Structure 1
Amino acid sequence: MRAMVNDALWRAAPPALSASVLDCLTEPASLSLRLQAGGHRFAVTVLQQGEDRVQADEADALGLAVGAPMYARHVLLTLEDVPVVFARSAARPGCPDWQPLLQRGSRSLGLTLFGELSGLSREPLRYGLLAAGHPLAGAAAQTQAAAGYPARRCRFLLGGSPLLLTELFLPALEDFL
């Protein structure tokens, strides 16, 4: 299994941000738990789930070719009904390790990934600032427009199968921090 590529978009160090957003971006544990701890009503809204295509910056991490079919789940994390994070979970199509976990409706995936899932390994978080040209920034812009989106990405392995979780922080998040 190939490791996640350290390309120009994804780095070990986070981008320069306000202290409150930076603290949230670099949270080593579940972002869902972090958001819930703020005392605001938290919810997960599924935007899209099912077959999708591998993006250029996902290919090596998933061990698939750019444009190949894959299984994806796009969600919004909301506080008080305000979208604050856009997230994409990506796995190989038909993967028996990940597909059942991704078919969870409005339950948070982060609570499972950062919890006690036996046999799960996690690679270090990587950080980026995704601009309008990135497909996920385009998807996030449909909810809240921004010049760029602070983002974090992590690859998880379960039974040797990869899952790539990418979280983009929307501008409204700062209002809740």
Structure 2
Amino acid sequence: MSIPQWYPVLAHPEIREGVLCDWLGDTGSLTRRLMAAGNDDFQVEVLNEAHQPARADEAAALGLAAGQPVWVREVLLHTAGAPRVFARTVADLAAFNAAGVHLENLGSRSLGDLLFNDPRIRREPIEISRYPAHWLPAGRQHDGCWARRSLFASDQLQLLVCEVFLPGWPPAA
């Protein structure tokens, strides 16, 4: 797979029900859900925060030209003693700077805490896809991982948040 094929949760041809679908389609805070599932041992491991060219699918979702510079934050979300989710957040650099938010200062705090506690931010519908292994961090590159993404928007800023469930997660319970 070279680029993901994003579909609304219930329209994806491969998945429509079950535990995985429940996790992929959950519109609440993934941070809170991971904390509950992992006995509150949740951690954020920051892998990268940088300006990068937008990938084609990201640019399309944000209404940008492919390759346009964007702000990117990549993290691993750990719970139950292991990394469970790779998350990539992308924002238009011009809007990011104009909005005056300081996401680059989050450090190891969860972006979800900010997004779900700010009443000005709304979440657009979730889309799901298989995620290309070569887009995952070194040592975590597995074929067939499921991902979900959605836009979080306020008056001045749009964030595209993509969360990739690593092998073994979600739990089968």
Q: Which residue is equivalent to 1:108?
A: 110
Q: Percent identity?
A: 35
Structure 2 counterpart SS, 1:58: helix
For residues 105 and 174 of structure 1, do their structure 2 counterparts lie closer, same or farther at Cα, with a shift above 3 Å needed?
same
Gaps of 5+ in 1: 1-6
Q: Deviations over 1:1-31 (max 9, x none)?
A: xxxxxx9711112542883322221111010
Letter in 2 for 1:93: L
For residues 43-73 of structure 1, give each alpha carbon's deviation from its aligned partner in whole angstroms, at most 9, with x where no partner exists.
Answer: 0000000111100101122232111111000
The one-letter code matched in structure 2 to 1:75 is: V
Verify: 1:72 aligned to 2:77, yes or no: no
The residue number in structure 1 matching 2:121 is 120
2:122 partner letter: S
User: 2:169 matched to which residue of 1?
Assistant: 173
Work out whether residues 123 and 155 of structure 1, in 8 Å CA contact, stay in contact via their aligned partners in 2.
yes
> What is the one-letter code of the residue matched to 1:73?
R
Q: What is the aligned partner in structure 2 of residue 34 from structure 1?
A: 33
- In structure 2, the gaps of 5 or more residues are none
> Does residue 155 of the first structure (1) align with residue 156 of the second (2)?
no
CA contact (8 A) 2:45 2:76 kept: yes
Q: Aligned equivalents of 2:59 and 2:20: distance in 1?
A: 28
Q: Which amino acid aligns with 2:87?
A: A
Which is worse superposed, 98-107 or 33-42?
98-107
- Partner Cα distance (1:48, 1:8) in 2: 21
Give the AA of the match of 1:88: R
When structure 1 is superposed on structure 2, of 35-44 and 14-23 the one drifting more is 14-23
Please provide the CA RMSD for this pair: 2.4
Question: Could you state the TM-score of these two structures normalised by the residue count of structure 2?
Answer: 0.83
**Aligned 8 A contact 1:73 1:88 in 2:** yes
* Aligned 8 A contact 2:44 2:76 in 1: yes
1:83 maps to what in 2?
A: 83
1:150-169 deviation per Cα after TM superposition (whole angstroms, max 9, x unaligned): 11010011223211000111
Q: In structure 1, what is the Cα distance between the partners aligned to 2:157 and 2:42?
A: 29
Question: Residue 36 of structure 1: SS of its match in structure 2?
Answer: helix
